């Protein structure tokens, strides 16, 4: 929910200037790659990436893939926004705890993006699960 809130403000027809589409703002190339990976070689059109169910599945699968590969939520969120290649460069140049690492992200947009997502996660967790003890370690 947090990514959809930040990416599109829950607008299923959203399209970014960079070409990302739908609720989860999936880049077509990434969406096609994830669909092929999930559906064992099947292909998807850009039109079908816009479809709500597909868009949520692709965005959620991609963030899951990033978390699995990074083993780090904060860096995975940054990767969703700025791309894994950029985050890999940043990780090499700075080793710091998550809360400090965020402050050194060189892209202002990505720094704000990560902070917003983390804030939304805490709010949604608080509202839905009544969890009032959230930290960056979760």
Active site residue 119: no
Q: What is the dihedral of CA 114, 17, 108, 5, to 10 degrees?
A: -30
Question: Catalytic residue among 7, 103, 109, 119, which?
Answer: 7
Using the Cα atoms of residue 21, residue 71, residue 123 and residue 126 in order, give the sign of their dihedral: positive
Rounded to an integer, what is the distance from CA 11 to the centroid of its chain? 16
- Active site positions, annotated: 7
């Amino acid at each position: 929910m947090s990514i959809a809130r930040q990416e599109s403000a829950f607008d299923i027809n959203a399209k970014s200037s960079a070409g990302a589409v739908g609720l989860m703002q999936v880049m077509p190339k990434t969406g096609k790659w994830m669909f092929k990976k999930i559906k064992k070689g099947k292909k998807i059109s850009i039109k079908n990436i816009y479809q709500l169910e597909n868009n949520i599945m692709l965005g959620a699968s991609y963030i899951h893939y990033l978390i699995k590969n990074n083993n780090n939520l904060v860096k995975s969120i940054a990767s969703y926004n700025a791309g894994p290649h950029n985050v890999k460069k940043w990780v090499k140049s700075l080793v710091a705890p998550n809360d400090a690492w965020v402050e050194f992200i060189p892209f202002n947009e990505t720094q704000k993006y990560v902070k917003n997502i983390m804030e939304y996660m805490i709010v949604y967790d608080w509202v839905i699960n009544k969890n009032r003890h959230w930290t960056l370690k979760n």
